[in-house]
Amino acid sequence: MDTMDEWFCDEESTLGYDEACINLRTNDKDSNAWLYLLSADCALKMMISLQCPYTRTKQIVSNLSSSVIVDTVRSTSFRILDAEDPNEFISAKNTSDVICELTPNLGQYGVYELSVQNRSCNIKTLNTPTYPYTELLVIFGVLILVLFGLSGLKSLWNVFKKKCVKRQLDDTTAMKQPSKRRVKAIDTVRGASTLLMIFVNDGSGGYRILGHATWNGLLPGDLLFPCFIWIMGVCIPIAMAGQMKRMLPKHMIFYGIVKRSILMFLIGLSLNTVSTGPQLETIRIFGVLQRFGITYFIVALIYLCLMTRKPKKTQSPMLKEVQDFLLLLPQWCVMLVIVAVHCFITFCLKVPGCPTGYLGPGGLHDDAKYFDCVGGAAGYIDRMILKESHLHHSATVYKSGPYDPEGILGTLTTTFQVFLGLHAGIIMMTYKDWKERVIRWLTWAAFFSCIGCILHFTNIIPVNKKLWSLSFVFVTTSFSLAFLSACYLLVDVIKVWNGGPFRIPGMNGLLLYVGHMVCYQNFPFHWSIGNMDSRALRLCEAIWGLGLWTIIAYIMHRKRIYITL
């Protein structure tokens, strides 16, 4: 078997993207070699000693052609064992009967040969892998050029209108007071979060690296939901200030808060039935919009109850520098109590069969010692109150039971994150100079980033979106503050960017999110050709759907239609 053509998996057409083929070979007739695999995705960062066990994959038989297909998104460790009747799973700590162990650098569409001879292993490349990001760079490069071209055409049209169209202003128009200018950066951040959430929910064009981390850690997709819900917090004091200015009674404001919260929860509950059906015994209770509704209710209600209609202006220069914090001092005290309650439950609640303070994914992790402990206290509370049939079900590399990433306990830390957004909104309302706003936003961003990184890298509280851990709140809030600062400088201060194509969709963010959830399988928003085993096709399909929702947002803006609760 000297040529590639004799192998089972030797042609690129037999592989999908993010896959490599390993041809297995041994000339030792007396060997009982077995191939075991372990994905790096099944090992928590900084907790390698607590990784999953190796999984038995295939026996390597002398003079018999065989192969195995391996995922290339994450690195995979190979272990060859010499055993007559091996177990399905072997602990990574158990090195008995190991012939060899290696972690090769594999690429998509690559074909490799793994040879086992004389109790040693060798892997060589038979077919060179391809670069996985070619389609992404090309398609997004073209997209950016198109957007720049459209922006240039719009600028030329505006210049043409100024020169050729005479504007006649009557006396009444000249006497009008200039209206208060809307901060466009807020809509830009909301729109970017919404559109990119849609892109990630549609599969990120086949690029899983742009999606979500399996458990601990942070990938680009993990930044979007927290940024979306954080910007909701920014808008709370701005909207409430307008209501107070109109002399709206507090009980009417309270009624509006309750109404919006209930509507968001019910819409989210309805969206959960789009793909699974309205079976009451198994309907998922919590979700994205449900978390929006609950956290909005808590934060807005606390702010309403503890706010003062006419805050006192301090004369002290030192106190003026922290006036935003002083205005929210009572709310901060309540929020710190909420965070303390979350930490106490997470690290002190005794979960049957699980170590106290467990933050792992359960299942096969840590050699399956805590198989039914997925999510620790957070998962236990959801299973006890909501029951497993009403939780989010998805297959994971850990093979653990159902766990809801938008469950009950994580709502507490999400509430804190929405409040941090509210504080950013208070900064915008308290300080009118753009420098004072940006300096405070970036200062808080640096502060939160330091706390989050310390908690994560010391392994006290790892960054984890599924748990919505405290370190995750700090790190993603830091990103949101920095992103808002950048958009504010570019869109509202320097005015070198008008926020497109994100700003207009941001004015109808809720409608776009709900619409894409309802139409997730409907043409023309989605389509398929064959088995869609091409990144170029998947990217085009994802961008097509994203483009349609963007066009809908622009049409609605043109008609002055804005859907809010």
Considering 212, 365, 423, 456, which one is annotated as catalytic? Answer: 212
Verify cis geometry, omega within 30 degrees of 0, for the bond prior to 501: yes
pLDDT at position 147 is 81
Phi and psi, residue 221, nearest 5°:
-65, -25
Tokens coding 362 = 């359960």
Check the CA dihedral 338-291-383-413 and report its sign. negative
| Overall average pLDDT of the 191-199 stretch | 94
Q: Which residue has the higher pLDDT, 472 or 397?
A: 472
Residue 238 has pLDDT above 90, yes or no: yes
Same domain, 190 and 275: yes
Residue 155's pLDDT is 76
Amino acid present at 102: L
Within-domain flag for 165: no
| Sheet architecture: strand order including 19-26 | 66-71, 19-26, 111-117, 120-127
Answer yes or no: are the C-beta atoms of 494 and 248 closer than 8 Å.
no
Beta bridge mates, 24: 66, 114
Given a cut of 70, whether residue 1 has pLDDT beyond it is: no
User: Does one domain contain both 123 and 194?
Assistant: no
pLDDT, one tens digit per residue, over 95-123 is 888 888 888 999 988 889 888 887 788 88
Give the pair of three-digit tokens for residue 273. 């039935």
Domain of 76, CATH number, reads 2.60.40
| Amino acid in position 350 | K
Assess whether pLDDT exceeds 80 at residue 549.
yes
Q: Which residue has the tokens 């309302």?
A: 429
What DSSP string runs through 57-80?
A: EEEE-TT--EEEEEE-SS-EEEEE
d(CA 27, CA 65): 11
Q: Which residues contact 44 (CB under 8 A, 6 or more apart)?
A: 50, 51, 215, 216, 360, 361, 365, 462
Q: Is residue 148 part of a domain?
A: no
Distance between alpha carbon 207 and the CA centroid of its chain, in Å? 14
Q: Residues 382, 383, 387, CA angle at the centre, nearest 5°?
A: 105
Query: What is the rounded distance in angstroms from the CA atom of residue 545 to the CA atom of residue 557?
Result: 19
CA 481 to chain centre: 16
pLDDT at 338: 97
Region 72-83: mean pLDDT is 88
Q: Answer with the one of 127, 142, 166 that is the final residue of a domain.
A: 127
Q: What is the pLDDT of residues 310-354, one digit of tens each?
A: 666 666 777 778 888 888 999 999 999 999 999 999 999 999 989
DSSP H helical ranges for 431-469: 434-457
Last residue of some domain: 89, 104, 127? 127
Local confidence band at 85 (pLDDT 50, 70, 90 cut-offs): confident
**pLDDT tens-digit series, residues 488-526:** 999 999 988 888 899 999 999 999 999 999 988 889 998
- What is the C-alpha to C-alpha distance for residues 549 and 515, in angstroms, rounded to an integer? 8
Dihedral sign of CA atoms 73, 200, 498, 475 in order? negative
Q: Convert the pLDDT of each residue in 26-50 to its tens digit.
A: 877 777 888 999 888 876 554 544 5
Range of the domain at 453: 182-309+319-559
Note the pLDDT of residue 165: 63
Regarding whether 423 and 305 lie in a shared domain, the answer is yes
Q: What gap in Å lies between CA 416 and CA 49, rounded to an integer?
A: 33
- The proportion of the chain whose per-residue pLDDT surpasses 70, expressed as a percent, equals 92
Q: Which residues share a beta bridge with 102? A: 78
Same domain? For 78 and 189 the reply is no
Q: How many domains does the chain have?
A: 2
* Displacement of CA 393 from its chain's centroid (Å): 18
Q: Say how far apart CA 241 and CA 64 lie, in whole Å.
A: 76
Model confidence at 3, pLDDT cuts 50, 70, 90, reads: very low
Tell whether 99 and 192 lie within a shared domain.
no
Task: Based on the fold, state whether residues 447 and 372 are members of the same structural domain.
Answer: yes
Share of the chain above pLDDT 90, in %: 46
State the average pLDDT for the chain.
87
Q: Are residues 414 and 546 in the same domain?
A: yes
Is residue 212 annotated as part of the catalytic site, yes or no? yes
Q: How many other C-beta atoms lie within 10 A of the C-beta of residue 297?
A: 18
Based on the fold, state whether residues 114 and 222 are members of the same structural domain: no
Looking at the predicted structure, is the pLDDT value of residue 177 above 50?
no
Directed axis angle between helix 250-271 and helix 224-245, to 10°? Answer: 150
* Any domain includes 507: yes
With tokens 């049939």, the residue in question is 389
* Element housing 224 (H / E): helix 224-245
For residue 379, give the nearest of 338, 407, 412 by alpha carbon.
Answer: 407
**Tokens, residue 262:** 């209930």
**What does the pLDDT average to over 280-298?**
93
Cα dist from 369 to 91, 373, 376, 458, 524, whole Å: 11, 9, 13, 23, 47
Angstrom distance (rounded) from CA 354 to CA 351: 5
The answer as to whether 99 is a domain residue is yes
